[in-house]
Amino acid sequence: MSKPFDVALGRLTGEDSYSSAPSLFIDGGQERGTFFLETFGCQMNDHDSEKVAGVLLSRGYRQVQTPEAARLILYNTCSIREKAAQKVFSRLGEYRAKQSEGKIIGVLGCVAQQEGEGIFERAPWVSLVCGSASYRKLPELIAQLESGNHRVTGLDTDTDETFETEITRRDNPFRAYLTIIEGCDKACSYCVVPYTRGPERSRASDAILREVRQLAELGYSEVQLLGQTVNSYADPSPRKMRFAELLLAVAEVPGIRRVRFTTSHPSDFTPDIVAAIETHPKVCEHVHLPVQSGSTKVLRAMQRSYTREEYLETIAVIRGAKRPIAITTDIIVGFPGETEADFEETLSLLDEVKYDSLFSFKYSPRPHTPSMKMNDAIPEEERSRRLAILQNKQREIQTARNRKLIGQTFEVLVSGKSRRENQWSGYTSSYRLANFTSHVEQLLGTYVQVRVTGVTPNSLVGEHVV
């Protein structure tokens, strides 16, 4: 295959391709220095993509909105469940023909890390495979492609580095994501993340606070601190800031009005986090605390490192706070060996905790994970049945909980405008979606008071109180 890309680069800049900007000249209607980036998966992946885009933009690339218009097509992928991983391969299949048009196709993220060079076998039209623990190497890998290599990989997870970038091209104009801890050191028996994102690495607190100050200067008032186990944060700097202290320090940055954080692991959820929410109104009154199952027996098989009772003790501390704190969770149904009685325990946990919202999943066996080899798999139809029962129950709980909010007024950060006239949407501090009417002309990005006049299971309906 000819390599007009590299040739063009050398010709344009006269420099070694590593430090050069890509050519922007047109070849068959397609700019050579263009990239398309599609992201699957969690908020951490979304945010990684914002950083990857920043890296490419800082090297002179231009982002385009379709793969057709791009020279470099990148997929940042998720492998948390089988369906997510399948979606990636079907998307790659759609772009099989593109390689012959001289496009470069790269796979990033968790499928890249999990499948490694196997991706080249399954999709030989891919030329770059790089997992998130190796993104610091991305510019170098892209340069290698530019200088003629046909296949490059970044698959090391043996690293103590975090992915720092000079530029982050943020997608969300209202909420700025900030990863404070990468990777995961837990070993939940069903989960690919420890394999796909490498060991836990925390970012120094002063670097985090510096970025928050920059974000405030750019006009962001809401930041969301991210980590697969965000509350396991361990400041590597001599300051040794605790996670709860970091929440307060971020809340103190002038211009910041809301601090969110996700995902919290129950075993590391210390009472000082609740105290931080209680004492500082800018720390949002919402905790996402995945429980996974209400049965201690299943939790043990999942290697979740807490019992139902210990989890409920943590919930009691959160519910006992002086400010009401919304609690949301994740649940897996149909884990191997989950009996009807175990499942009933999950249902009774929903009654006890009364979550404000939850994400629920059918167990999906994942390669390399210990649960893959467990006996007593639950048949697919049974997993579906349990999921439906769980979701129905939660819908009733949520509707009842939301109904109690009718008549109350909440502060909403407005982040959406409906096509319907005078209809806006945004989130409360407790992370409830509010759809509301207002006759004010421009509200996006502002904080408004919304009185709740009605509810659905998943949202509040209200009106702007001027």
Supply the DSSP symbol for 379: P
Nearest Cα residue to 106 out of 139, 168, 156, 151? 151
Closer to ligand SF4 by CB, 332 or 412: give it.
332
Supply the DSSP symbol for 458: T
Task: Fill in the per-residue mask, 181 to 220: x = in contact with ligand SF4 (CB under 6 A), - = not in contact.
Answer: ---x-x-x--x-xx--------------------------
Residues 107, 75 contacting (CB under 8 angstroms): yes
Residues 229, 181 contacting (CB under 8 angstroms): yes
Closest distance of CB 140 from ligand SAH, Å = 29
Rounded CA-CA distance 159/136 in Å is 11
For ligand F3S, the binding residues in 296-355 under the rule CB under 6 A are none
Closer to ligand SAH by CB, 163 or 424: give it.
163
Give the pairing type, strands 258-262 and 222-226. parallel
196 makes contact, choosing from ligand SF4, ligand F3S, ligand SAH, none, with CB < 5 to 8 Å by partner type, with ligand F3S
Look up residue 6 and give its amino acid: D
87 makes contact with ligand SF4 (CB under 6 A): no
- Which among 136-144, 279-287, 358-366, 410-418 is the span making contact with ligand SAH, rule CB under 6 A? 358-366
Distance of CA 99 to the CA centre of its chain: 29
Rounded CA-CA distance 345/52 in Å is 43
Residues 258, 222 contacting (CB under 8 angstroms): yes
For ligand F3S, the binding residues in 27-86 under the rule CB under 6 A are 41-42, 44-45, 78-80
Number of continuous H segments (helices) and E segments (strands) in the chain? 14, 21
194 makes contact, choosing from ligand SAH, ligand SF4, ligand F3S, none, with CB < 5 to 8 Å by partner type, with ligand SF4
Tracing tokens 């970012």 back to the chain, one arrives at: 203
For ligand F3S, the binding residues in 79-108 under the rule CB under 6 A are 79-80
Between vectors from CA 82 to CA 78 and to CA 84, what angle results, nearest 5°?
35
Among positive and negative, which fits the CA dihedral 294, 295, 301, 304? positive
Residues 78, 45 contacting (CB under 8 angstroms): yes
224 makes contact with ligand SAH (CB under 6 A): no
Closer to ligand SAH by CB, 103 or 362: give it.
362
Closer to ligand SAH by CB, 201 or 282: give it.
201
Task: Fill in the per-residue mask, 254 to 283: x = in contact with ligand SAH (CB under 6 A), - = not in contact.
Answer: ---------x-x------------------
294 makes contact with ligand SAH (CB under 6 A): no
Using only C-alpha atoms, the chain has a radius of gyration, in whole angstroms, of 23
Closest distance of CB 232 from ligand SF4, Å = 8
Tracing tokens 């006759």 back to the chain, one arrives at: 439
Closer to ligand F3S by CB, 78 or 225: give it.
78
Residues 344, 308 contacting (CB under 8 angstroms): no
Closer to ligand SAH by CB, 105 or 184: give it.
184
Between vectors from CA 461 to CA 458 and to CA 465, what angle results, nearest 5°?
140
Task: Fill in the per-residue mask, 191 to 210: x = in contact with ligand F3S (CB under 6 A), - = not in contact.
Answer: -xx--xx-------------
Give the pairing type, strands 201-202 and 286-288. unpaired
410 makes contact with ligand SAH (CB under 6 A): no
- Which among 18-26, 138-146, 190-198, 342-350 is the span making contact with ligand SAH, rule CB under 6 A? 190-198
- Which among 33-41, 156-164, 185-193, 444-452 is the span making contact with ligand SAH, rule CB under 6 A? 185-193
378 makes contact with ligand SAH (CB under 6 A): no
257's tokens: 């009005």
Query: Under the rule (CB under 6 A), what is the footprint of ligand SAH?
Result: 80-81, 190-191, 193, 228-229, 263, 265, 290, 292, 330, 332, 361, 363-364, 366
Query: Under the rule (CB under 6 A), what is the footprint of ligand SF4?
Result: 184, 186, 188, 191, 193-194, 228-229, 265
